[in-house]
Amino acid sequence: MTSSIRAVPITRRPDRQLVQLLALGTAQVLAWASSTYLPAILGTAIAAELQISRGTFFAAFSLSLVVMALVGPLVGRRIDRTGGRRVLLCSNLALASGLLMLAFASGIFSLYAAWCVIGLGMGLGLYDALFATLVQQYGKSAGRLIVGVTLIGGFASTVGWPLSSWMLEHWGWRWCCAAWALLQMCVALPLHYRYASNRRSGDAALTSTSTPTLACAVKLASPEATAQPQAPGRRDVAYLCLFSGATAFVTSAMAVHLPTLLSLNGATAAQALFAATLLGPAQVAARLAEYGLTQHAKIRPLTTARIATALHPAACLVLGGLGGLAAAPLAGIFFALLHGAGNGMISIARGVLPLALFGPVGYGALTGKLALFARTMQACALFAFVLILDGGGLKPALLLSGGLSLAAFFALCKLRVGVL
């Protein structure tokens, strides 16, 4: 009787974890689509109506990333202490408030104030905060759930850009912002309330012993899985900061300026938007491939991260080498696919590498520190990249983003590999 009763939660746990992944992944799609991916579609229209330059608008967006960077360490420590549910719920409130403020913006001051509030919501609710929440609940086994959430979250650009474009065309940018705020309150907030956990790290060991499959259970029971990770070292943290900062610069620049970048290569607005929407499928496909490589082919996460950082320079070579109007659509498609694949794998690496290197203890505080560096680089990226695009054009922009990705690749090559 006792054994049959205990078997019930174990057999139901895979379904519960699947529902949790779907819910939290959907909330991430809404969070990214209504924040990071919003300026690429609405930036020009907002700047025109408020009679400001595009550079001024993207400086406001950069300010939101500075706010996001500043709250990162505090958010990480808070999740380490109390779990992530309240933090994620606050992110929905902040994003909705900021979007409504943006919808009613009438000048530079109100525009900048709105993006500061949106930046607070981004710091409270995007991947870093969610990854820390999952690590608090599941411990070292959270790596699989991080992959699962990013598989769904990878469709943020695929959903966000076309939907924002449709709302901009039919409703205008103000009602578009209001609609995203409504989705935050009516969809994302209930999902976080129901499926985000406040479990502390002490529960992670218990949870990780009840894994969905027998293969996972054997893996967790193996000596390798129970080996204690090494303590953080300054050298490794420095290389992780370089990796996080360089890739964050490229990710942010492409998330906002990819349609413009492809247009400078000769693509029409429709062709550039179509190519940009391929980012989502490419990210998801790459994350599935990475899961297969790490779980079945036993390829180390560090190896897949190195592959990921090499894909953006390859994409730059493709776009720079296939210039001209005739090849512009094809070049844009290949660029979006290669960059999207690399970016999809990098999103996982940012969450998995600190966990694999240093373990779940203090994970939130560590990723908060990395986020401080990464978000600062993101803030610089938005304003710097638009100046390079407007002043120098396509080739200097490709040289900058490709060079930073190579620097991230170098940093990963210098990381220790004994625990990975």
Instruction: Average the pLDDT over 146-169 and give the result.
Output: 85
Instruction: Average the pLDDT over 33-38 and give the result.
Output: 89
Instruction: Average the pLDDT over 99-120 and give the result.
Output: 94
Instruction: Average the pLDDT over 8-33 and give the result.
Output: 76
Q: How confident is the model at residue 66 (pLDDT cuts 50, 70, 90)?
A: confident
Residue 1, domain member (yes or no): no
CATH number of the domain that residue 172 is part of: 1.20.1250.20
Residue 220, domain member (yes or no): yes
Residue 7, domain member (yes or no): no
Alpha-carbon distance 260 to 390, whole Å?
A: 10
Q: Which helix (H) or strand (E) holds 321?
A: helix 301-321
Q: Which tokens go with 380?
A: 């610089």
Instruction: Average the pLDDT over 83-87 and give the result.
Output: 87
Q: What is the largest CA-CA distance in the chain?
A: 74
Q: What is the pLDDT of residue 108?
A: 92
Q: What is the pLDDT of residue 416?
A: 62
Alpha-carbon distance 20 to 42, whole Å?
A: 32
Please give the residue that has the higher pLDDT: either 109 or 215. Answer: 109
The rounded mean pLDDT for the chain is 79
CA nearest to 257, candidates 58, 22, 45: 58
Contacts of 158 (CB under 8 A, 6+ apart): 277, 278, 279, 280, 281
pLDDT in tens, 299-331: 777 888 888 899 999 988 888 776 554 466 778
Q: What is the pLDDT of residue 409?
A: 92
Q: What is the pLDDT of residue 173?
A: 94
Alpha-carbon distance 244 to 145, whole Å?
A: 21
Q: How confident is the model at residue 116 (pLDDT cuts 50, 70, 90)?
A: very high
Residue 419, domain member (yes or no): no
Cα dihedral 50, 54, 60, 66 in deg (nearest 10): 170
Our CA angle for 161, 65, 166, nearest 5°, is: 15
Please give the residue that has the higher pLDDT: either 121 or 37. Answer: 121
Q: What is the pLDDT of residue 190?
A: 95
Instruction: Average the pLDDT over 199-207 and give the result.
Output: 48
pLDDT in tens, 338-348: 988 888 888 77
Q: How confident is the model at residue 377 (pLDDT cuts 50, 70, 90)?
A: confident
Q: What is the pLDDT of residue 122?
A: 93
- The residue type of 309 is T
> At residue 2, does pLDDT exceed 90?
no
Residue 420, domain member (yes or no): no
Q: What is the pLDDT of residue 179?
A: 96
> At residue 138, does pLDDT exceed 50?
yes
DSSP summary character for residue 186: I
Max avg pLDDT among 23-37, 73-87, 229-243: 23-37
CA nearest to 72, candidates 131, 124, 136: 124
Instruction: Average the pLDDT over 190-202 and give the result.
Output: 77
Instruction: Average the pLDDT over 219-237 and give the result.
Output: 51
Contacts of 395 (CB under 8 A, 6+ apart): 320
What is the C-alpha end-to-end distance of the chain, expressed in Å?
Answer: 42
> Within 13 Å of residue 208, how many CA atoms lie on the same side as its CB?
25
Q: What is the pLDDT of residue 211?
A: 37
Q: What is the pLDDT of residue 180?
A: 96
Please give the residue that has the higher pLDDT: either 374 or 7. Answer: 374
Judging by beta carbons within 10 Å of its beta carbon (0-12, 13-18, 19+), is residue 137 exposed, middle or buried?
A: buried
Domains contained in the chain, number: 1
Q: What is the pLDDT of residue 297?
A: 66
Q: What is the pLDDT of residue 417?
A: 52
Please give the residue that has the higher pLDDT: either 48 or 360. Answer: 48
Share of the chain above pLDDT 70, in %: 84
Using DSSP, state whether 333 is helix, strand or coil.
Answer: helix
- The residue type of 313 is P
> At residue 29, does pLDDT exceed 90?
yes
DSSP state string for 34-95: TTTTSHHHHHHHHHHHHT--HHHHHHHHHHHHHHHHHHHHHHHHHHHHH-SHHHHHHHHHHH
Q: What is the pLDDT of residue 206?
A: 41
Instruction: Average the pLDDT over 16-23 and give the result.
Output: 85
Q: Which tokens go with 373?
A: 């560096």
Alpha-carbon distance 142 to 320, whole Å?
A: 39
Residue 277, domain member (yes or no): yes
Residue 338, domain member (yes or no): yes
Q: Which helix (H) or strand (E) holds 168?
A: helix 156-171
Instruction: Average the pLDDT over 172-191 and give the result.
Output: 95
Which of these ranges, 24-28, 104-108, 123-127, has the smallest mean pLDDT? 123-127
Q: What is the pLDDT of residue 191?
A: 93
Instruction: Average the pLDDT over 116-120 and give the result.
Output: 95
Residue 2, domain member (yes or no): no
3-state DSSP: the chain helix, strand, coil percent, rounded to 5? 85, 0, 15
pLDDT in tens, 401-415: 889 999 999 988 887
**Where in the sequence is the domain holding 359, given as residue range(s)?**
12-414
Does this model's pTM top 0.85? My answer is: no
Q: Which tokens go with 94?
A: 């902040």
> At residue 392, does pLDDT exceed 90?
no
Is the alpha carbon torsion for 140, 405, 344, 157 positive or negative? positive
Q: At what angle do helices 108-125 and 2-33 cross, to 10 degrees?
A: 160
- E strands, 240-339, where? none
> At residue 253, does pLDDT exceed 60?
yes
pLDDT in tens, 88-109: 999 999 999 999 999 999 999 9
Is the alpha carbon torsion for 77, 81, 84, 85 positive or negative? negative
- The residue type of 372 is L
Q: What is the pLDDT of residue 178?
A: 96
CA nearest to 179, candidates 48, 28, 38: 38
